[in-house]
Structure 1
Amino acid sequence: MNMKSGVQIWLIRHGETEWSKSGQHTGTTDIPLTDEGRKQAQALAPVLASRSFDLVLTSPMGRAIETCRLAGLGDRATVEPELHEWNYGIYEGRTTPDIRAEVPDWSVWTSPIPQGENLADVGGRAQALIDKLLATQATNIALFSHAHFSRVFGAQWAMGSPSLGAHLVMDTAAMSVLGFERDVRAIIKWNLLP
Structure 2
Amino acid sequence: MHRCKRLIARKSYVRSSRRFRRWQYAPGETIEQVAARAAQVVQEVLPVIMDGQDVLLVAHAHILRVLTTQWLGIDPHMAKMLRLDTAHYSSLGMYKGDRVIEHWNL
Q: Same fold (TM over 0.5)?
A: yes
CA distance in 2, matches of 1:183, 1:160: 16
Deviations 1:118-165 (A, max 9, x none): 110111010000001113456211111001101101111113421221
Aligned to 2:42: 130
CA distance in 1, matches of 2:30, 2:55: 27
Q: 4+ runs of 1 displaced by more than 4 Å? A: none
Matched, 1:141 2:55: yes
CA distance in 2, matches of 1:122, 1:186: 20
The runs of 5 or more residues in structure 1 that have no matched partner are: 1-85, 95-112
Percent sequence identity over matched residues? 31
CA distance in 2, matches of 1:182, 1:155: 19
Deviations 1:53-90 (A, max 9, x none): xxxxxxxxxxxxxxxxxxxxxxxxxxxxxxxxx9634x
Q: Secondary structure in 2 aligned to 1:179?
A: strand
2:65–2:82 contact (8 Å) kept in structure 1: yes
Which protein has the larger Cα radius of gyration, Structure 1 or Structure 2?
Answer: 2
Change beyond 3 A, Cα 1:179–1:163: same
The 5 Å alignment of 1:100-115 reads 115=27
CA distance in 1, matches of 2:73, 2:59: 20
The runs of 5 or more residues in structure 2 that have no matched partner are: 10-24
CA distance in 2, matches of 1:173, 1:138: 26
Change beyond 3 A, Cα 1:87–1:167: closer
Aligned to 2:97: 183
Structure with more helix by fraction: 1
Aligned Cα root-mean-square deviation (Å): 2.4
Structure with more strand by fraction: 2
Match of 1:153 among 67, 75, 83: 67
The 5 Å alignment of 1:5-44 reads none
Give the letter aligned to residue 165 of structure 1. A
Deviations 1:167-192 (A, max 9, x none): 00011111000001110000111100
Aligned to 2:5: 88
